[in-house]
Each structure stands twice: as structure tokens, then as C-alpha cells.
Amino acid sequence: MKKAAFIYSPEQLGYKFSDTHPFNHKRLTLTMDLLKNINALHDIDIVPARVATDEELLLAHDAKYIEVVKKAGHGELSAAQCESYGIGTEDTPVFDNMHEASAQLVGGTLTAVDYVMEGKAEHALNLGGGLHHGFRGRASGFCIYNDSTVAIRYLQEKYNARVLYIDTDAHHGDGVQWSFYEDPDVCTLSIHETGRYLFPGTGNITERGNGQGYGTSFNFPLDAFTEDESFLAIYEAAVREVFEFFKPDVVLTQNGADAHYFDPLTHLYGTMNIYREIPKLVHQLAHEYCDGKWIAVGGGGYDIWRVVPRAWSMLWLEMTDQPMPSGALPKAWLERWQPEAPVPFIPTWEDPTPLYEPIPRKAEIEEKNAQMLIKALHIIRNEKR
């Protein structure tokens, strides 16, 4: 059995809105090139992503919506016809063959699921996936099809599995949460910047699920300007306690890399430290509770030069039990990409310290986050007593 499978097909790069759109899958190319440069990713590790069938997409989406996405991507619909489906907007513009490219991102996550559930690999990674804002009948926030929702339903139907979904993107994982809001056999956990100002606005601790699913939806909204220490304290307590409470058969993690200080769209103050630690804990708990079954997908991440390649490389290194890198980034990689990058690279795996000016209300922010954690976990801590 492989330690881990790296799911990728060049067709996944076809998920491209425009040259200026913040969501840019050039991140995949940059990450893979960085990994190859340090000799941590080999052709034998790479498994091509399949294309999700219509039947599979229907696990999470309306037939009418899929039809609209297909037609829009072939130039057969007017702007007005797309509008109520959330496509053709500034966030999610129409692009050629948008259905095909989107179905390949979903297919990649399904390939990852099959690899892990059929025992071909302990873990599997599809960095092209993680489009957590997609809704049943509507695109939202750069996301057309919701690969995680499709994959979780697929895990339920084909493998009868109990799934824990962990989302560390700086934006709330709303699409996935609402898909399983009433389902007691899927637990969703999202840790994100508070939705008071940031998109999508949801992800309050009071969103705990509904009906049978009450108590299997967890949200940990962090204050803007939250730094590494507080982020990791919340993350570790939340993930550990929810794992212990839910006891999943398999864990699916969404690894958006937009909680970093450099990310242009969010206001969290994480550094590379969080991307070193996040996969470590899940890896350990996946072995403890799920016999190792861990599927990881990508997500947000809008500083595609300085943040995402390093963060996602560390995710793959952790999945494959390779030593965590330190010190200088490979010279060849820096020299190859610096001419294209609009910002100077951080030339090392670690961020320089300090990366930013001290935050004025650091202690209060940490205190507020700690209080939030207590309230959010109250429901399971109470049950244990």
C-alpha cells in the first residue's frame, strides 16, 4: 500500500476564471514544482484525477443547475439566464468548459476517496478540490461544484462510512455544513475568521445542526488579527475533542491556506507555523481513530506565491511521513518563478520573525477566542460529565 496518493491531472488547471481572478490554480503547479525540487514528489506518487459523472454530481447538486453550468460553459446562455444560479457574477464568472473543469476537480476528490477506501493508499490528497462554498443549486464564492459534499455522500453510499469533515480555510465552510446540517452521521467542523465582516458571514458557534443532526456541526469563529498561538490552541482543542466525541471512520480535511498574514482577502495573522501544525494533528488522530483513513483537499489561498506552495508542500510532506523541511527554499525553484511573481519570495520554509508589527489588542483577542472555544465545545464537554 502507498503511504499517500497525490491526485492531479493537468486538466484541473482548466478551472480558471480569468487572469486577474484571485482564485488561481497556478498554485498547484507552483506547489508540485517545489515538491519535485526537494525530491519529495515523484511521478509514481501521482494518480490522475477522474471526471465525476453526472450521477455523482447529483449526490450534491440539482439536475437543473448542472445543466445550466454545462450550457454556460459552452456559451449557450445569456447573463440573465445564469444569474439566479450564482454564475456570471464577479466572484464566479463564466469560463469555457466550466462544467468539465469543475467535474474534474470533484472527480479528483472521488479518486482520493477510492484510493483510501479501497486500501490502495493510507491517505490521499487532491489539492484541486476544497470548493466548500458551492450550494445544491447555486455557485457561490468562487465555487461551482462542491467536491467535499459530493465526496462525503459518496463515502456514505458506497462505503457506508461515518465522516468527520474538518475545514481550516479562513472562510466558513458553509456549503458543506448546510449539506449535512440534519445528518447525524456526518460531523462538520469549521475554524475560520468570524463572519461579522468576512464572507460568507455564517459560521457562528450557535450553528450546531438541526433535527437528528443537532450537535454534529461545530464552528469556531476566530477574531480578526488572530495569531499563530491562539489559532493553534483553538484548533488543537477543537479537533481533538470532536474526534473523540464523534469517532469517525474516515476524516476529510479542507486545507485552505488563506489564514496567513499575507493573504489579501482575510484578516487572520497566521504564519507558516500553522501550516506545519495543522496536518500533523489530523495525521496522528486519523491513525488513532480511523485506521489512517485521511483524505485531504485544497481550498482557498490567495497569496499563491509566498504562502500556498510552502503550506501545501508541508501538507504533502506530513501525509507521506517525510521530514519537515527547514531553512532555504531550493534555489532552482526561486529562480524559476521569481520573474513571474509580483512580490519578492520568502526564501525560507519558515517565515521571518517578526513577520508583522505587534497587534495592539493581542491579549484581548486571545481571551475572546478562548471564551469562544468554551462555548463552542460546551455541548460535548457537558455530555462527558
Partner 1 sequence: MIVEEIMNTEPYTLAPHNTVREALKLMRDKKVRHVPVVNEELHVVGVITERDIKEALPSSLQDEPPNTAILQEQIANIMIKNPLLGHPLDFVEEVALTFYESKIGCLPIVSGGQLVGIVTTTDLLYTYIELTGATEPGSKIEIRVTDTPGVLFEVTKIFHEHHMNVQSVLVYPDAENAQNKILSIRVKTLNPLAMIEDLRQQGFDVLWPNLPGVSSS
Complete DSSP assignment for 201-257: ----TT----GGGTTSEEEEEEPTT-BHHHHHHHHHHHHHHHHHHH--SEEEEE---
Interface pick for partner 1 out of 19, 43, 340, 357 (rule CB under 8 A): 357
Cell numbers for 69: 453550468
Of the listed pieces 83-91, 111-119, 284-292, 346-354, which binds partner 1 according to CB under 8 A? 83-91
CB of 259 to partner 1, least distance (A): 11
Of the listed pieces 32-40, 149-157, 305-313, 352-360, which binds partner 1 according to CB under 8 A? 352-360
Indicate the residue among 156 and 202 with the shorter CB distance to partner 1. 202
CB of 257 to partner 1, least distance (A): 14
Indicate the residue among 256 and 325 with the shorter CB distance to partner 1. 256
Which strands sit side by side in the sheet containing 250-254, from one edge to the other? 46-47, 2-7, 121-126, 294-297, 250-254, 163-167, 186-193, 217-222
Interaction between residue 140 and partner 1 (CB under 8 A)? yes
What's the first-to-final CA gap in the chain, in angstroms?
41
Interface pick for partner 1 out of 43, 90, 340, 383 (rule CB under 8 A): 90
Tell whether omega for the bond before 93 is within 30 degrees of 0, i.e. cis: no
Indicate the residue among 147 and 174 with the shorter CB distance to partner 1. 174
Interface pick for partner 1 out of 39, 55, 211, 264 (rule CB under 8 A): 264
Interaction between residue 231 and partner 1 (CB under 8 A)? no
The owner of cell 517525510 is 322
Interaction between residue 142 and partner 1 (CB under 8 A)? yes
C-alpha pair distances (Å), 9 with each of 19, 108, 128, 285, 306 = 20, 8, 9, 29, 23
Indicate the residue among 270 and 325 with the shorter CB distance to partner 1. 270
Interface pick for partner 1 out of 2, 13, 16, 22 (rule CB under 8 A): 22
Kind and range of the H or E element at 350?
Answer: none
Interaction between residue 199 and partner 1 (CB under 8 A)? yes
Interface pick for partner 1 out of 73, 108, 128, 141 (rule CB under 8 A): 141
CB of 304 to partner 1, least distance (A): 14
CB of 323 to partner 1, least distance (A): 31
| Distance (Å, whole) CA 241 – CA 96 | 44
Helices (H), the chain: 26-37, 54-57, 63-73, 79-83, 98-117, 147-159, 174-179, 228-246, 272-290, 308-319, 331-337, 362-384
Which one, of 336, 263, 255, lies nearest residue 36 by Cα?
336
| Distance (Å, whole) CA 322 – CA 304 | 23
Residue 343 CA, chain-centre distance (Å), reads 24
Residue 213 has phi, psi (to 5 degrees) of -85, 5
Residues contacting partner 1: total by CB under 8 A: 32
Each residue 158-197 as x (binds partner 1 by CB under 8 A) or -, in order, gives -------------x--x---------------------xx
Interaction between residue 133 and partner 1 (CB under 8 A)? yes
Of the listed pieces 67-75, 179-187, 257-265, 312-320, which binds partner 1 according to CB under 8 A? 257-265
Interaction between residue 89 and partner 1 (CB under 8 A)? yes
- Which residues contact partner 1 by CB under 8 A? 22, 89-91, 133, 140-142, 171, 174, 196-202, 224-225, 261-267, 269, 356-357, 359-361
